[in-house]
């Protein structure tokens, strides 16, 4: 006598669980342009690597004789898998069961799914497609009471951000706790058209007099432009590919170091185009992204947060195979001036780098913090000071590449406080506590006003001062370590990455990660 009858029973139950919320619900879900939770997991992880945990959990129905006659799986599906051959933990909401809401799950399973990655020091990927934590106010009638807001194991869930990489994909309409689960991550995405996110949905918002659709209230482009999430993507499949790419730059946890990948790109490769990348005319802007794609390992530049805080470019990349974090200016937006949003975006990147011990490369062209009444009202100095603090708190090795401008307090963002710091300037660089054009009027007002031809006098002073602005004058006083041929930038950067690699140390940062 074997245990085959029990195995047959388990196989039957697992087959029922494969039906998710039933054919009708699944068909409606697909008709809305969305993949099922099982298809999502299969699309995300290495083929055949998913080992589900708790596949038997859910809501069974038994007939009078005690025979199983129906089964609805819990709408939290989770398990271990590999991505690029490395262990990850996956948790995914099943929208076809109770709309992904909490009351279609099991409390203990939710707690397990959210905290297991942290226990085993491996990345967590969350596929969020649930309406929220509270379920429905109808519960009041069944419970006969209410309760103070809490999420099971919330402290552990948030603390995981200081331990393991967390990627969250918003894959449906998510509100309340679902929305917070998307934001509580190091990298988050939403899909154009099929995913929305809000504190509360349109019916609730209508009560404050706003009649809007889900898309108008919290569509992917709204959140990608204000930084609620990192990126908007065109499809779920694109989200899976980007999640895999993101994780390839990171270590398994803060307790290990990011691995070097083999590369065929020569460490000393030069690029002739870089000699003219920055226009001589100071009024002309230039494109920073082609510079980045040129100097990092071929095809390794991975941008994050492209649609918000746009005067700053943030991303990950590789140098001679070593993963690094990249901060750069985009002069197409406010000439590269740091807005309040740009500061918040820079903080997010630098905190990620410090948490996971990634050296930082900063391509600097910063005329200052954004000025003017709008900028002041956005709190730019508060966020700017926060950004400077985040940068100084980062102890990872740092490389500053001074491409063009570095002025004022915002110019301090070029470097952190580590001793493992290198800095190079391109010949196009210029810097100072304030730009000459703005400073001359203030400093020489009396002289200019007393002159017979004030305009000519101002011009004369500006010309005289500009001669001092050449970076070579700073280099003479060892105020900058070196001025390099821009064509050879990659050689200096790969040297930095190789010097930095053995200096990286594991462990938690001095501060907890705040998403």
What is the binding site for another protein (CB under 8 A)? Answer: 282-285, 310, 331-335, 337, 367, 372, 374, 435, 437
Nearer to another protein, 55 or 438 (CB): 438
- For residues 346 and 413, the answer to whether their CB atoms sit within 8 Å is yes
Nearer to another protein, 27 or 234 (CB): 234
Nearer to another protein, 367 or 486 (CB): 367
Ordered DSSP codes for 299-361: T--EEE-TTSSTTEEEEEEEETTEEEEEEEE-TTTGGG-B-HHHHHHHHHHHHHHHHTT--EE
Beta pairing class for 166-170 and 86-93? unpaired
The helix/strand/coil state of 219 is: strand
What token pair was written down for 348? 């997010």
Nearer to another protein, 257 or 370 (CB): 370
- For residues 236 and 195, the answer to whether their CB atoms sit within 8 Å is no
- Residue 357 and residue 503: Cα distance in Å, rounded? 10
Helix ranges, 394-453 (H): 436-443, 445-450
Nearer to another protein, 59 or 286 (CB): 286
Nearer to another protein, 2 or 284 (CB): 284
CB of 233 to another protein, least distance (A): 16
Nearer to another protein, 84 or 213 (CB): 213
What token pair was written down for 311? 């005067």
- Residue 9 and residue 6: Cα distance in Å, rounded? 5
285 exposure class (CB count in 10 Å sphere: 0-12, 13-18, 19+): middle
What token pair was written down for 218? 């919290």
Order of strands, sheet of 187-191, starting from the edge strand that comes earlier in the sequence: 51-53, 76-83, 86-93, 124-128, 166-170, 187-191, 231-233
Ordered DSSP codes for 372-408: SHHHHHTTHHHHHHHHHHHHHH--S-EEEEEEEEEET
Helix ranges, 404-480 (H): 436-443, 445-450, 454-466, 471-476
Nearer to another protein, 84 or 221 (CB): 221
Nearer to another protein, 263 or 378 (CB): 378
Nearer to another protein, 179 or 292 (CB): 292
Cα–Cα separations (whole angstroms), residue 213 to 131, 132, 193, 225: 16, 18, 12, 18
Helix 340-355 vs helix 380-393: crossing angle, to nearest 10: 20
Nearer to another protein, 349 or 370 (CB): 370
In the chain, how long is the greatest CA-to-CA distance? 113
Helix 37-44 vs helix 236-248: crossing angle, to nearest 10: 40
Cα–Cα separations (whole angstroms), residue 384 to 390, 473, 513: 10, 29, 18
- For residues 49 and 81, the answer to whether their CB atoms sit within 8 Å is yes
CB of 335 to another protein, least distance (A): 5
CB of 196 to another protein, least distance (A): 19
Nearer to another protein, 374 or 449 (CB): 374
């Amino acid at each position: 006598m074997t245990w085959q009858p029990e195995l047959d029973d388990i196989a039957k139950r697992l087959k029922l669980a494969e039906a998710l919320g039933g054919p009708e619900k699944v068909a409606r879900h697909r008709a809305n342009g969305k993949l099922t939770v099982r298809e999502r997991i299969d699309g995300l992880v290495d083929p055949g690597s998913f080992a589900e945990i708790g596949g038997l959990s859910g809501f069974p129905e038994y007939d009078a004789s005690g025979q199983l006659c129906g089964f609805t799986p819990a709408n939290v599906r989770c398990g271990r898998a590999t991505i690029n051959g490395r262990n990850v933990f996956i948790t995914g909401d099943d929208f076809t069961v109770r709309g992904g809401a909490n009351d279609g799950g099991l409390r203990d399973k939710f707690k397990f799914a959210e905290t297991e990655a942290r226990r085993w020091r491996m990345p967590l990927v969350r596929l969020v497609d649930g309406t929220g934590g509270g379920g429905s106010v109808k519960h009041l009638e069944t419970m006969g009471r209410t309760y103070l807001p809490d999420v099971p194991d919330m402290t552990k869930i948030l603390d995981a951000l200081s331990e393991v990489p967390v990627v969250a994909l918003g894959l449906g309409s998510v509100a309340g706790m679902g929305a917070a689960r998307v934001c509580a991550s190091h990298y988050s995405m939403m899909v154009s058209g099929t995913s929305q996110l809000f504190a509360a949905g349109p019916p609730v918002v209508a009560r404050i007099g706003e009649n809007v659709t889900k898309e108008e209230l919290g569509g992917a482009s709204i959140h990608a432009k204000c930084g609620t999430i990192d990126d908007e993507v065109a499809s779920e499949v694109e989200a899976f590919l980007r999640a895999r790419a993101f994780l390839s730059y990171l270590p398994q946890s803060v307790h290990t170091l990011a691995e070097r990948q083999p590369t065929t790109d020569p460490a000393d490769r030069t690029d002739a185009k870089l000699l003219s990348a920055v226009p001589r005319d100071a009024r002309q802007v230039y494109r920073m992204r082609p510079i980045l794609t040129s100097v990092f390992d071929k095809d390794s530049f991975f941008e994050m947060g492209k649609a918000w805080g746009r005067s700053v470019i943030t991303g990950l990349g590789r140098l001679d195979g070593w993963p690094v974090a990249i901060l750069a200016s985009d002069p197409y937006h406010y000439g590269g001036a740091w807005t309040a949003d740009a500061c918040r975006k820079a903080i997010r990147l630098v905190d990620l780098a410090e948490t996971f011990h990634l050296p930082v490369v900063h391509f600097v062209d910063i005329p200052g913090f954004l000025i003017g009444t709008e900028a002041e009202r956005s709190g730019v100095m508060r966020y700017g000071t926060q950004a400077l603090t985040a940068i100084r708190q980062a102890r990872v090795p740092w490389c500053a590449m001074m491409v063009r401008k570095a002025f004022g307090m915002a110019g301090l963002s070029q470097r952190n406080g580590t001793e493992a710091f290198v800095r190079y300037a391109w010949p196009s660089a210029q810097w100072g506590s304030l730009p000459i054009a703005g400073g001359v009027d203030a400093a020489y007002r009396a002289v200019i006003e007393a002159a017979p031809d004030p305009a000519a006098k101002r011009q004369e002073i500006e010309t005289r001062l500009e001669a001092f602005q050449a970076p070579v004058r700073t280099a003479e006083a060892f105020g900058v370590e070196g001025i390099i041929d821009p064509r050879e930038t990659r050689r200096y950067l790969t040297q930095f990455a190789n010097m930095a690699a053995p200096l990286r140390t594991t462990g938690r940062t001095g501060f907890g990660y705040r998403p």
